[in-house]
Amino acid sequence: MPPEALLDFVAPWADVYADSSVLPTLVTFGHTAALVFAGGLAVTLDRATLRAARGSSEIRWRQLKELGSAHRLVLFGLGLSLFTGILMFAADLETYFVSRIFWTKIGLIGLLLGNGYLMTRTESRIASTPNAADDAGWKRLRFSAGISMALWFMIAFAGVALVNA
């Protein structure tokens, strides 16, 4: 059970949310659209990274540049999903606060962010080598891309399970 002070703090928002049919639709759409946008872009980039890891140094270099320019978009989508997720959490605190599925999803998001951080560090290291030819770095990047893809799909599964639990 959530602390009473927290329930009191979110009560005005929870009441407005519960009394509206439009607000939950907009917040849920924002959450879903942000995840589809960020996750779709990230999975597409991860797939390209898996392919580039086996390609020529020119292909690898192009992929590094693409990754660098796309990270802001993925982070924007994650930020929007975080904001809308907090709104949904606050609207039904009693349900989500005690939900193992919710906290599992939050844990998976934490792992995704940690993996993303390691990926960007690896990308920076690779980019500092001539012609992006750091094979050990590309192996790490390839592994991280695979982990990223798996985490995005596990997060989507957890979100669906959360709605249906």
pLDDT value of position 74: 95
CA angle 19, 21, 24 (to 5 degrees): 95
Instruction: Check if the beta carbon of residue 152 is closer than 8 Å to that of residue 91.
Output: no
Q: pLDDT digits over 109-151, tens only?
A: 999 999 999 999 999 999 888 766 778 899 999 999 999 999 9
**pTM to 2 decimals?**
0.90
pLDDT value of position 135: 86
Phi, psi of 134 (to 5 degrees): -75, 95
Q: Which residues of the chain have pLDDT under 70?
A: 131-132
Quote the DSSP letter at residue 52. H
pLDDT value of position 131: 67
Q: Measure the CA–CA gap between 160 and 165, rounded to whole angstroms.
A: 9
Instruction: Check if the beta carbon of residue 60 is closer than 8 Å to that of residue 132.
Output: yes
Q: Measure the CA–CA gap between 150 and 131, rounded to whole angstroms.
A: 29
